[in-house]
Chains A and B, each alone.
Chain A
């Protein structure tokens, strides 16, 4: 069964870039059957899809975040990553990585809280 694990700093300063990595086990990011995505959830609020990447490097981002988001993939490490630039307090959230099945996240990581504060 596929498992995903997020890693990265839990605290980021305003205006800086948030960087997270998702390590996949029990499956391969190079599988042509799936896309790989990031979703976030501000404390006490709902879910927001950030974007996805295919093993080839093809990406699609939420228009609301597109200008600040970059998702990349490293097939040699079986990982994919998220960068979100120019962060503000509004970007404080639990960030999840997930596999996409039928265009919807099915297997999720446990999530990692990222706080934006000076």
Chain B
């Protein structure tokens, strides 16, 4: 069965430090991969997505993610974190013919000044 794993439940970084959030998926083929961000009390906003082509994709708010087929991973990175990046981040996989999403459990990011 398809699944998405985000190994880190909570991550705390200092403002200005670099960030990497991990995501691994289990799927029979190359899936469509997404990163969403959820600010407190808000809905989900798309940061970036990948389904083909260049394995390094750029998103909004200075985020990027790299698809590694050999590791079944799609890790999210940001070179310098801002306090406003504190939120919960979800990795998701789209499968099947109806664009359904399977989400990871999420990683909650805290940013220290």
A and B, one complex?
Answer: no
A-side residues, CB < 8 A to B, are none
B-side residues, CB < 8 A to A, are none
